[in-house]
Amino acid sequence: MSQIRRLDPVVADQIAAGEVVERPASIVKELIENSLDAGATRIDIAVEDGGVRTIAVLDNGAGIAHEDLPLAVARHATSKIQAAEDLACVATMGFRGEALASVAAVSKLEISSKPTNAPSGWSIRVEGGHEVQSRPTGRAAGTSVEVADLFFNTPARRRFLKTTRSELNRITEITRVLALGNPLCGFTLRHNNRELERMSPARTADERVAHVLGGDFVNEAIRVDMERDGMRLWGWVGSPNFTRSNSSRQFFYVNGRAVQDYLVAHAVKQAYKDIMFHGRHPVFVLFLDLNAMDVDVNVHPTKSEVRYRNSTGVHNFIMSSIYRSLRTDPTDPDRHVSADMLTTPTTGATATSSLLSATVRQTTLGFDESTNTRTRWWLREAVRTEHDVQTTQLNDELENPPATRVLPPLGTALGQLKGAYILAENDDGLVVVDMHAAHERVLYEELKSYSSKNELARQRLLIPETLDVGAQDAELVEELAESLLQIGLVVERAGPTTVKLREVPALLLTSDLSVLLSDVLDDLREHGRSDAIETRHHHILATMACHNAIRFNRRLTLDEMNELLRKMEVTPNAGQCNHGRPTFRTQSLSDLDHIFLRGQ
Ligand SMILES: Nc1ncnc2c1ncn2[C@@H]1O[C@H](COP(=O)(O)OP(=O)(O)OP(=O)(O)O)[C@@H](O)[C@H]1O
Ligand SMILES: [Mg+2]
């Protein structure tokens, strides 16, 4: 007798549901995304007991026709794509037609909906995948989905849920992630009848970001808006002084879809290299728009990861865009941007329509008006307008310094405090400079600029070093000999698993060469480029700078202090030492007046 039997469809559905519905927050995500796809401008979410008892999501979107209700909860039934080719250019959040079916398989589900022009609404109830009731219902246009008793028929799954608090945290988090990407839509979130979030549709691009990440982040954030090769990156990145101890405040959207992306996190971190305190993580809200054909959204069960056709290109574009954006401040004439890092800042109304081309097909399916599409147009334009205003002001100031400005930006030195700080006066008020940190940055940038001219100087090893790197890496060495040479490594294959290192960059002679080589190979394999050599170079230069910078308690003359201030003004990244600590702070006269209650 056959040992292999077909599973009962109900069991098969429960297994499939496990992929999509891991916990209450996964349901909240799917329901909000459905509402956004339906063009909602208002979404109200109410959950009880961390979402395990009930989850209800109400929207004012396009609604579902009466005859479509049973299909909405059927597996592989969707209104968002029709044919296999459509998968190559998805612009809606959903496309698989399985989210509601999965939720229905492991809960008691009720959907009630009224399309805008329908005379009345209908509701349908499904328990563990079986339809139990369908009836007319009086309601306003839009859709509400209520999920009760999650995992009532899969107790094993239920046992894996965490505490109410922890499930609720995840729900709050995913709501914020989606709200941040869709600021034109209003959101409310209630738990056990208590309101936790209320976000009205945003009127400015900054408003939603400020709501989620705080006003301080927005005030200090640097706006990014770069375009190259049909890709556009825009959004907010935190100043190097606004960092976190983990990467939880990093929000990234690809064609409007919130995704978690290791590649992007790595690229951004690289861009902050040596202007951020060691072990800290940057905060960012970034949107990448590219042709939908160049990104595969169908790679992850919960659609929270994507794959790029040219991942190296995306990595480099993101890194160079952020690098540029972080370093365009008045004290940075961009000297250290190498040619391959140059990207063209966007101008005027070019607004790349990668998104538009993505929606062309889906327009025919009626999804041109999803909330996400509209929002992105608005948000992108708003960011640019707000951003342009700032850029113009910045340039104006650089080219035509205000007539009233008589002192240099970092002022003239008044004296030294406790052997650690320089006090200076500028047009705005008081400048306090950490003299060791500031000198360290000045020296470091000088060393970098000097060594960039000589950094490819290679040194032949007296005795070539044979390294056993394994077959895979040995092959890679053979394949990438040219790229390795470009970063100063002369290395060749010596045997099935061994390679011979003949020359290395002079400054790295004393490094552990086998670790160096394997780091370089790892990078090349994963990201198509390696900064391991440059990073090590910079590390050595940073140590040299630190050891040679003025020490605590060293008395400086006023002339020496002024010389340091003038050097800082022309040094890139002078606002942070190379460990990422701030080098100076200003206290304006009005701040001081405020402290001393003058004029109040
Ligand atoms: N809030 C809603 N407003 C209007 N239509 C909806 C809503 N929720 C679901 N639908 C309709 O029900 C269909 C099935 O939804 P479901 O979430 O299961 O699949 P999907 O969104 O098409 O794809 P995916 O499984 O990737 O989410 C959708 O294609 C859509 O037509
Ligand atoms: Mg969906």
Edge to edge, the sheet with strand 412-417 lists: 412-417, 421-425, 429-434, 584-588
Q: For position 443, what pLDDT does the model report? A: 86
Taking the CA of 145 as reference, the closest ligand is 1
Question: Ligand 1: distance of its center to the CA of 95 in Å?
Answer: 8
Position in ligand 1 atom list of the atom nearest CA 103: 18
Determine the distance from the C-alpha atom of residue 280 to the mean position of all C-alpha atoms in its chain, rounded to a whole number: 15
Question: Ligand 1: distance of its center to the CA of 7 in Å?
Answer: 26
The mean per-residue pLDDT over the stretch 372-393 comes to: 53
Measuring from each residue's beta carbon to the nearest atom of ligand 1, which residues come in under 6 Å?
Answer: 30, 34-35, 38, 59, 61-64, 72, 78-80, 94-101, 143
The tens digit of pLDDT for each residue in 70-109 reads 999 998 889 888 888 888 788 889 988 999 999 999 999 9
Q: What percent of the chain has pLDDT over 90?
A: 38
3-state SS class at 50: helix
Probe target for ligand 1 pocket from 73, 78, 81, with the most ligand atoms within 8 Å of CB: 78
State both tokens at 511.
């490094």
Residue 6 gets which letter from DSSP? Answer: P
State both tokens at 232.
């556009």
- Indicate whether 336 pLDDT > 70: no
The mean per-residue pLDDT over the stretch 340-365 comes to: 35
State both tokens at 104.
């229905």
Q: Which long-range contacts (CB under 8 A, 24 or more apart) does 395-400 make?
A: 397/330, 398/330
Report residue 526's pLDDT band, with 50, 70 and 90 as the boundaries: confident
Q: How far apart are CA 597 and CA 600, in angstroms?
A: 6
State both tokens at 491.
């290395």
Probe target for ligand 1 pocket from 34, 76, 257, with the most ligand atoms within 8 Å of CB: 34
The tens digit of pLDDT for each residue in 416-475 reads 999 899 999 988 889 999 999 999 888 888 878 777 765 557 888 888 999 988 888 899
Tell me, what amino acid is at 161? Answer: L
- Indicate whether 365 pLDDT > 80: no
The mean per-residue pLDDT over the stretch 351-376 comes to: 45
- The more confident residue out of 531 and 561 is 561
Q: How far is CA 425 from CA 25, 402, 431, 504, 586, in A?
A: 53, 17, 6, 48, 9
Q: For position 88, what pLDDT does the model report? A: 79
Torsion 407-408-411-413 (CA) sign? negative
The tens digit of pLDDT for each residue in 165-208 reads 999 999 999 999 999 999 999 999 999 999 999 999 998 889 99
What domains sit in the chain, N to C, each tagged with a CATH number? Answer: 9-193 (3.30.565.10), 205-396 (3.30.230.10), 406-600 (3.30.1540.20)
Report residue 405's pLDDT band, with 50, 70 and 90 as the boundaries: low
Supply the residue whose CA is at minimum distance from atom 17 of ligand 1: 99
Supply the residue whose CA is at minimum distance from atom 31 of ligand 1: 79
Supply the residue whose CA is at minimum distance from atom 28 of ligand 1: 78
State both tokens at 245.
């101890």
Question: Ligand 2: distance of its center to the CA of 77 in Å?
Answer: 10
- The more confident residue out of 593 and 110 is 110
Question: Ligand 2: distance of its center to the CA of 73 in Å?
Answer: 10
- Indicate whether 485 pLDDT > 60: yes
Question: Ligand 1: distance of its center to the CA of 28 in Å?
Answer: 13
Probe target for ligand 1 pocket from 66, 100, 124, with the most ligand atoms within 8 Å of CB: 100
Query: For all residues of the chain together, what is the average pLDDT?
Result: 82
Report residue 328's pLDDT band, with 50, 70 and 90 as the boundaries: low
Between 194-203, 338-347, 374-383, 561-570, the lowest mean confidence (pLDDT) is in 338-347
- Indicate whether 362 pLDDT > 80: no
